[in-house]
Amino acid sequence: MNAPANSTRGVSLQVRNLWKRYGRQEVLRGVEFEVQAGEVFVLMGPSGSGKSVLLKHIIGLETPDAGDIFINGESISTPGVLERHRLAMVFQSGALLNSLTVAENVGLYLSEHRLKPPEEIARVVSEKLAVVGLEGAEDKMPSELSGGMKKRVAIARALVMEPQLILYDEPTSELDPLSAIVIAEEIVKLNRRMGVTSLVVTHDRDLAFDVAHRVAVIHEGRLLAQGAPEDIRQSAHPVIRRFLHAEFNPQTVT
């Protein structure tokens, strides 16, 4: 798959030589990659390799020790750059506001910034909830939802922003295979329809190769490889091979 040509809406993203340490632990060690406007870029890696930390840097929740991040060529450390572009993040845990209903959560961006009148917001919210397969869940509280439902509400909340760049942190990790496919389709559809640049963090191999234009593998804070899905799949790198081709073998369990 190639990045679609009509990618007028998406923004490009560059991460240059990003370093971050917490205490004595080096979490990011010179991460460097580029995502073109309108591309679906998948970042894979084992647990604890720094994927969520990397996303937090891109959305501006953390500041790097060294290195820089550019959106459409502008450094996000420049005041106003993050505000000027619509970036959305789907948190690994969902991060819904527990005191608000599902509808209020999903419509929060519109209502707080007064972008639309209430009836219009209600309509958009229902529409986005339908997209993630949660019609009629408007009045539920987050505590009444399952983990997978929360994740889907979080995706709906990100969609409402009509983002130019979406960061998905493990969008399918708590979903059954069927819902996971629906979400994967949604990621691709959204990207095709609106040309939104998507950065998907996952350790779901199927999702990765289904949606990606390009794939990168992160390990212990470093990118081991990046390239077209086929190239990564064929990679000879031992860590990548182990990660991508790990299979459960009952015979080896004693």
Partner 1 sequence: MFQNIGEMVLLFWRTLRALPLTWRQRQKVADQLFEIGNASLLMVCVLSFFIGGVLALQTGPVLVERGLHQYVGGLVGVALARELAPVMMAILIAGRCGSAMAAELGSMRVYQEIDALRTMNINPVHFLVLPRLVAIALGLPMLVVFSILVGWLGGALVASITNQIDISVQAFFADLRNGVELKDVVNGVFKSFCFAWIIGIVSCHQGLTTIGGPRGIGRSVTKAVVNSIVLIILFDFFLTRLLLD
- List residues near Mg ion by CB under 5 A: 52, 92
Q: Does 91 bind partner 1 (CB under 8 A)?
A: yes
Q: Which is nearer to partner 1, 71 or 212 (CB)?
A: 71
User: Does 59 sit near partner 1 (CB under 8 A)?
Assistant: yes
Q: Of the two residues 48 and 117, which places its CB atom closer to ligand ATP in the complex?
A: 48
Binding site for ligand ATP (CB under 6 A): 22, 27, 45, 47-53, 92, 203
Q: Give whichever of 65 and 230 is closer to ligand ATP, judged by the CB atom.
A: 65
User: Measured at the alpha carbon of residue 25, what is the angle toward residues 50 and 238, in degrees to the nearest 5?
Assistant: 55
With H, G, I as helix, E, B as strand and everything else as coil, classify residue 68.
strand
Interacting partner of 133 out of ligand ATP, Mg ion, partner 1, none (Cβ under 5 to 8 A depending on kind):
none
* Residue 124 touching partner 1 (CB under 8 A): no
State which residue, 22 or 65, has the beta carbon closest to ligand ATP.
Answer: 22
Q: 27 or 106, CB closer to ligand ATP?
A: 27
HEC letters along 4-28: CCCCCCCCCEEEEEEEEEECCEEEE
27 binds, among ligand ATP, partner 1, Mg ion, none (CB under 5 to 8 A by kind): ligand ATP
Helices (H), the chain: 51-58, 81-84, 102-112, 118-131, 147-160, 177-194, 205-211, 229-233, 238-245
> Using CB distances below 5 to 8 A depending on partner kind, what does residue 175 bind out of partner 1, ligand ATP, Mg ion, none?
none
Torsion sign over Cα 234, 235, 238, 241: negative
Q: Which is nearer to partner 1, 59 or 194 (CB)?
A: 59
Sign of CA dihedral 181, 184, 188, 190: positive
- Edge-to-edge strands of the sheet including 40-44? 87-90, 165-169, 197-202, 40-44, 214-219, 222-227
112 touches partner 1 (CB under 8 A): yes
Tell me how far, at minimum, the Cβ of 51 lies from ligand ATP, in Å. 3
Report the Cα–Cα distance between both ends of the chain, in Å, rounded. 43
Element of type H or E holding 214: strand 214-219
**Cβ 114 to partner 1 shortest distance, Å:** 8
Q: For residue 41, is it left (φ>0), alpha (ψ between -120 and 50) or beta?
A: beta
Touching partner 1, residues 154-183 (CB under 8 A): 161
Confirm or reject binding of residue 96 to partner 1 (CB under 8 A).
Answer: yes
Tokens of 177: 């295979």
List residues near partner 1 by CB under 8 A: 56, 59-61, 83, 87-89, 91, 93, 95-99, 108-109, 112-113, 161
